[in-house]
């Protein structure tokens, strides 16, 4: 049976306030946690998310900003022991447009306690959805609901990693684009070999400097932190910050001029590879084991 939306759902916070007024019971005293510890854990989760996203071959980037898909929000939720439960989608009609509505809740993975939730829609009037069958509308509504529910709890961590807080599924016109990987793939026969330094003259000839996108900068800064280019101690918000002076000196040492933001693609790839090798030095091959008879 199709449901027509004609009024807003009741405000749960208003119902709670009314209950408190009727009973006369005060709110229980809340247990507070150390803010610095919370921020430090969030910074650790943000860095882990950025590193995981750097290995994703295709990401949702729109106007230089990056958006997380449902599975990316699930990755972040896993750091906090959270999981989503999506309820059955139902057909609806809004202002004459047919579509699907779904709800999702966020639960503690161990206790099953419900900690949040959201509802979302997918309408046939949206761009690209006019000719889609019902099951696809229902599936997208459920996906959006799950992503939105996690966003409501974890957006404050996602933005620390440099991502936009809006789920990618809600961005009309957003498309997946190839994004540079954090770890440069090196052929096995060249492991341990330093890539050739780019010729600054050849690179700059006829190629104007263009600033890197936010996604490219985030990848480079995440790897710089892993390579040890960080300021001592977290800031007042518990964040680990890049030591840009030290990073700038490193770029000059490897023969790259200019600032981090104006590296050419070839220079960026070269800097990323050397940062990767500094962060993860290639391990020497183990010495071959011999038997007692020397064979």
Domain residue ranges in the chain: 34-178, 188-279
Model confidence pLDDT, tens digit, residues 231-256: 877 777 777 788 888 888 888 888 87
Of the candidates 119, 166, 122, the one whose C-alpha atom is nearest the C-alpha of residue 141 is 122
Are 102 and 144 within 8 A, CB to CB? yes
Burial of 53 (0-12, 13-18, 19+ CB in 10 A): buried
Model confidence pLDDT, tens digit, residues 97-129: 899 999 999 999 999 999 999 999 999 998 888
Collapse the DSSP code of 57 into the 3-class scheme (helix H, G, I; strand E, B; otherwise coil) and give the result.
Answer: coil
Choose between 100 and 185: higher pLDDT: 100
Q: How far apart are CA 81 and CA 9, in angstroms?
A: 29
Q: How far apart are CA 258 and CA 247, in angstroms?
A: 12
The one-character DSSP state at 89 is: P
Which secondary structure element, helix H or strand E, spans residue 275, and what is its range? helix 265-279
pTM score, whole prediction: 0.56
Q: What pLDDT sits at residue 283?
A: 52
For the residues 74-82, what does the mean pLDDT come to? 94
CATH 1.10.155 fits 34-178, yes or no: no
Out of 111-115, 209-213, 226-230, least confident range? 209-213
Q: What pLDDT sits at residue 208?
A: 47
Q: How far apart are CA 49 and CA 51, in angstroms?
A: 5
Under the banding of pLDDT at 50, 70 and 90, the label for residue 95 is: confident
């Amino acid at each position: 049976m199709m449901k027509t939306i004609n009024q807003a759902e009741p405000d749960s916070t208003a119902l709670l306030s009314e209950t408190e007024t009727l009973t006369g019971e005060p709110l229980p005293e809340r247990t507070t946690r150390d803010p610095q510890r919370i921020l430090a854990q969030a910074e650790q989760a943000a860095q882990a998310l950025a590193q995981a996203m750097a290995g994703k071959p295709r990401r949702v980037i729109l106007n230089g900003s990056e958006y997380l898909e449902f599975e990316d929000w699930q990755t972040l939720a896993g750091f906090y022991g959270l999981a989503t439960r999506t309820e059955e989608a139902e057909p609806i009609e809004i202002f004459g447009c047919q579509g699907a509505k779904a709800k999702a809740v966020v639960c503690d993975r161990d206790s099953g306690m419900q900690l949040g939730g959201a509802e979302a829609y997918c309408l046939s009037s949206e761009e690209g959805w006019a000719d889609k069958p019902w099951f696809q509308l229902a599936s997208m509504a459920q996906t959006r609901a799950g992503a939105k529910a996690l966003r409501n709890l974890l957006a404050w961590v996602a933005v620390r990693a440099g991502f936009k807080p809006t789920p990618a599924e809600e961005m009309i016109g957003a498309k997946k684009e190839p994004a540079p990987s954090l770890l440069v793939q090196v052929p096995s026969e060249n492991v341990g070999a330093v890539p050739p330094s780019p010729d600054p003259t050849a690179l700059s000839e006829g190629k104007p400097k263009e600033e890197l996108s936010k996604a490219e900068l985030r990848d480079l800064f995440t790897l710089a932190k892993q390579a040890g280019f960080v300021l001592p101690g977290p800031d007042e918000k518990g964040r680990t910050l890049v030591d840009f002076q030290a990073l700038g000196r490193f770029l000059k040492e490897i023969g790259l001029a200019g600032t981090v933001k104006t590296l050419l693609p070839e220079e960026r790839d070269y800097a990323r590879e050397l940062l990767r090798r500094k962060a993860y030095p290639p391990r020497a091959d183990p010495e071959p084991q011999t038997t007692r008879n020397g064979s």
